[in-house]
Structure 1
Amino acid sequence: MVNRKNLMKEIMSWVLSILIAFFISILLNSKVVAKVRVKQSSMENTLKANQQLIIDKLSYNFTSPKRGDIIIFLENQHKRSIIDDAMIFIKDLGNKGDNNSRLVKRVIGVPGDKIDIKDGHVYVNGEKILENYVKGETFSQDLKFPIKVENDKLFVLGDNRPVSLDSRAFGPIDYDQVEGKAVFRVYPFDKLGNIK
C-alpha cells in the first residue's frame, strides 16, 4: 500500500512538472519569442517560402518598429490578450508554425512619413530609398499615392514587389497587429543566422 501511494505521488509530481513546463512554454511563446515558418514568396530574395524564423516579441514593448525591420503581423487581428496568444501557440503546435493569418513584411514607413511610389521606386519623405533587397519594380496597387502614415500605423511592403500583398493593397497596418520582429533564421541550416 505504501508503494502504491509513493507511485501515485511520483506520477502526480511528473504530471505537475509537465503542466508547469507547458504553461511556461505558452508564456514564452506568447510574449517573448516564437518560431514561425515563412509561407509566401512575397519576401524573396530576403526570405524564401518554408524558411523558419525566430521572432522577438518582447522588443516592441519598449521600442517602436523602425524602417527596414522585417516584422510578422497577424492579418485582421488586433490587441491580443495572453489567452489569444496562448490559443495561437496551441494552434501553432498542431500546424507546425503554419499560422495562415501571419504575414511577413518589411517596414517602409513609420508614423509621420509621407510615402510615394512612382516610376517603379519608393520615396519616403520625398527621398528615393535605396532598396537593394527588392525583387522587381514597385508599382502602386489599390492605394492612391502619396499617403501619410498616421499615428500608430506602419506602411509595410514585401521584398518581392510584383507578387506581394501588402500596404499598397490593404493600407497601413496598426501597431497592435504586429506580433514581433524577425531576428534569426533557423532553417534551412545553410541559411542559419541573423536576418537583415
Structure 2
Amino acid sequence: MRAVAGRRHLLLVVALIPLLVVLALRAWVIEPFTVSSDSMEPTIESGAVVLLYKPSAAAGGIRNGVIVAFTNPIDGRTAIKRVVAGEGQVVAIRDAELYVDGVAIPEPFIDHSRIDATYFGPVEVPAESIFVLGDNRGVSIDSRDFGTVPLTAIQGTLLTGQK
C-alpha cells in the first residue's frame, strides 16, 4: 500500500515540475503578449502575438530602436512602442523626419508620406527615462502625447516582430 502511495506522490511531483517551470518562465523571463493596437503597424499588426523578454529591462537592454512594453501612463495598460531616445538626448520631428541630437535617424519602417508635415519638439529626455514613438505615427498615442516613460515602467523588450 505504501509503495502505491509513494508512486502516486512521485508521479504528482514529476507532473508538477514542468508546470512550475512554465509558470516561473512566464512570470520572470518570457511572456506572450497579444497586441491590441495598430500603433506599431506595419512592423507589428494588431492581433499579433509577440514575446516579451522581461530581464532586458533590469539588465539595461533598453536602447534606441528596440521595441519595449511598458505601463501606459494614461490608462495603466501595457503598451508597446519603439524607443527613439534615451536619457539626455534631444528628440525632434521635422516634416515627419525623426531627429535625435540634431541627426536625422533613418526609419525605413515608417511611411513618411502618411505623416508629411508633422512637427514636434525639440524635447530633452530626462534622467532615467526614454522617449517612445509608435511606427504608425499618424494614429499612435506615444511620448508626444504623454511625455517620456520612466525606466521603472518598462516591463521588457519584444523578442519578435522587430524590423
TM-score (norm 2): 0.84
Find 2:130's aligned residue among 130, 154, 157. Answer: 154
Please say if 1:111 is aligned against 2:87. Answer: yes
In structure 2, distance between residues paired with 1:116 and 1:75: 21
Tell me the residue number matched to 2:97.
Answer: 121
TM-score (norm 1): 0.71
In structure 2, distance between residues paired with 1:74 and 1:105: 11
One-letter amino acid of the structure 2 residue matched with residue 102 of structure 1: T
Report matched runs for 1:50-69 at 5 Å: 50-69=47-66
Indicate if the aligned counterparts of 1:56 and 1:182 stay in contact, CA closer than 8 A: yes
Tell me the residue number matched to 1:16.
Answer: 13
CA shift, 1:117, in A, is 2.2
Tell me the residue number matched to 2:146.
Answer: 170
One-letter amino acid of the structure 2 residue matched with residue 24 of structure 1: V
Tell me the residue number matched to 1:25.
Answer: 22
In structure 1, distance between residues paired with 2:42 and 2:32: 20
In structure 2, distance between residues paired with 1:124 and 1:182: 22
Tell me the residue number matched to 1:74.
Answer: 71
Task: Give % identity.
Answer: 27
CA shift, 1:35, in A, is 1.6
CA shift, 1:58, in A, is 2.1
In structure 2, distance between residues paired with 1:44 and 1:7: 57
List alignment gaps of at least 5 residues for structure 1. 77-99, 186-194
**What is the RMSD of the two structures over their aligned residues, measured on CA atoms?**
2.4
In structure 2, distance between residues paired with 1:132 and 1:34: 28
CA shift, 1:128, in A, is 2.1
One-letter amino acid of the structure 2 residue matched with residue 21 of structure 1: P
In structure 2, distance between residues paired with 1:155 and 1:18: 45
In structure 1, distance between residues paired with 2:154 and 2:115: 26
Any idea what SS the aligned residue of 1:146 has? strand
Tell me the residue number matched to 2:39.
Answer: 42
Indicate if the aligned counterparts of 1:31 and 1:57 stay in contact, CA closer than 8 A: yes
Any idea what SS the aligned residue of 1:165 has? coil
CA shift, 1:56, in A, is 2.0
Equivalences, count: 159
In structure 1, distance between residues paired with 2:144 and 2:18: 42
CA shift, 1:44, in A, is 0.6
CA shift, 1:37, in A, is 1.6
CA shift, 1:61, in A, is 2.8
Please say if 1:145 is aligned against 2:142. Answer: no
In structure 1, distance between residues paired with 2:62 and 2:46: 23
CA shift, 1:131, in A, is 1.3
In structure 2, distance between residues paired with 1:74 and 1:23: 26
